[in-house]
């Protein structure tokens, strides 16, 4: 796996109950406690699928069973693969039935997927969190409400991905302009950001620490 290649897997929550039960067995004790704490079945399903998928892709890359993957909490609560199965960077995102898991062999990685919500007050949110240039872009007078929502969500995913690659907090990254994508300076490091393909109704982005270009390979994760 090249250090300048990022693999991104997308996974849907919609799994039959027998498959969900099998995925549950891949989780460690702490993950099972977290899954069991959810009251709503859809939230439990989301958690189980997302975390089992992350374990599966990491385990497949490292050549170890998914159940043997262990996590440690890094800076600002970012999960990382723990020893002895280290040497890989991974990040996870989820939104409204869709998960995204990103793997990088060396460079810290962040990924974000967001459903485009027509009910979000993008004008208020952009004015509160985005740079003036980004706000003007989102609220362009000739843009339709749908286009405004799309633009707002695209910028949000870029910011989230950048912040997660940095291991920082979202509010710190909100004032940083990501309007042009590419390389952005954040937390004393350059971070390269790229939009990635997502199903209709979603937007997604991935970021790596460092300014070197990278190539994204996208997959759909199968419960197999």
Domain boundaries, the chain: 5-220
Quote the CA–CA distance of 216 and 176 in Å, as a whole number. Answer: 23
Q: For strands 71-73 and 5-12, give the pairing.
A: unpaired
Average pLDDT over residues 25-41: 96
Beta bridge mates, 101: 9, 92
Whether the per-residue pLDDT at 40 is higher than 60: the answer is yes
The terminus-to-terminus CA distance of the chain in angstroms comes to 22
pLDDT of residue 85: 65
pLDDT tens-digit readout, 73-125: 877 677 788 867 667 899 999 999 999 999 998 899 999 999 999 899 999 99
pLDDT in tens, 185-214: 999 999 999 999 999 999 999 999 999 999
Q: Are 129 and 26 in contact (CB under 8 A)?
A: no
Q: Is the pLDDT of residue 224 over 60?
A: no
When pLDDT is averaged across residues 158-168 and rounded to a whole number, the result is 95
**Dihedral angle over CA of 113, 117, 123, 127, nearest 10:** -30
DSSP string of 5-29, one letter each residue: EEEEEEEES---HHHHHHHHTTS-H
Q: Give the confidence band of 1 by pLDDT, cuts at 50, 70, 90.
A: low
Topology adopted by domain 5-220: Ribosomal Protein L22; Chain A (3.90.470)
Whole-structure pTM value: 0.93
């Amino acid at each position: 796996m090249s250090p300048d290649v990022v693999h991104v897997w997308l996974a849907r929550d919609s799994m039959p109950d027998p498959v969900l039960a099998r995925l549950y067995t891949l989780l460690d004790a702490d993950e099972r406690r977290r899954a069991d704490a959810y009251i709503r079945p859809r939230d439990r399903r989301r958690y189980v699928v997302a975390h089992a998928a992350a374990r599966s892709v990491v385990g497949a890359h490292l050549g170890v069973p998914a159940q043997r993957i262990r996590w440690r909490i890094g800076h600002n609560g970012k999960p990382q693969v723990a020893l002895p199965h280290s040497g890989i960077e991974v990040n996870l995102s989820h939104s409204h039935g869709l998960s995204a898991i990103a793997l990088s062999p060396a460079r810290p990685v962040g990924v974000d997927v967001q459903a485009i919500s027509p009910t979000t007050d993008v004008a208020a949110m952009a004015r509160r969190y985005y740079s003036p240039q980004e706000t003007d872009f989102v609220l362009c007078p000739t843009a339709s409400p749908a286009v405004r929502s799309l633009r707002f969500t695209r910028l949000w995913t870029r910011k989230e991905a950048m912040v997660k690659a940095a291991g920082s907090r979202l509010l710190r990254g909100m004032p940083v302009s990501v309007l042009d994508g590419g390389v952005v300076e954040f937390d004393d490091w350059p971070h390269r950001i790229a939009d990635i393909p997502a199903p209709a109704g979603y937007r997604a982005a991935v970021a790596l620490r460092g300014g070197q270009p990278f190539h994204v390979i996208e997959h759909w994760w199968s419960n197999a």
